Amino acid sequence: MAQTISYITGAQLLSLRRRPNIAIIDVRDEERSYDGHIAGSLHYASDTFSDKISDLIQDVKGKDTLVFHCALSQVRGPTCARKFASHLEETKEDTGIKSVLVLERGFNGWEASGRPVCRCTDVPCKGKTT
């Protein structure tokens, strides 16, 4: 597992997100419910993230790339990505995860660029986009 957290652009994520080995982790808090989200993303709110890392590891079994984001990916997204990477390093758990990335410009940048947004309230997200 790499010590550093790398960034991925919205365009890169758009081309990769349909691959079965990628999980998108939305760490926004309540704004996810009214702003929409990236279709298929998993929601792990930043305010309870540390308590739910074990749940996240279970939810991403079979994935080797995780892409974290918040609204702008300036604080919550990178912080949660680092916490997750540190947890994996400390526990030395063999999860198969090779890359922990952060979405550049976050959800707001994704949506502002005209990329597809899902407004479902399904948990987990069923992937309907608008």
Percent of the chain with pLDDT over 70: 95
10 Å CB burial of residue 106 (0-12, 13-18, 19+) is: buried
Mark whether 70 is an active-site residue: yes
Strand 65-69 relative to strand 42-43, pairing: unpaired
Task: State the pLDDT confidence band at 115, using cuts at 50, 70 and 90.
Answer: very high
pLDDT value of position 3? 52
Helix (H) or strand (E) holding 86, with range, is: helix 76-91
Catalytic residue among 70, 80, 118, 125: 70
Kindly state the tokens that stand for 23: 């999980």
Q: What's the Cα-to-Cα distance from 74 to each of 69, 79, 96, 97, rounded to whole Å?
A: 9, 9, 26, 23
For 41-56, what is the mean pLDDT? Answer: 96
For 2-19, what is the mean pLDDT? Answer: 86
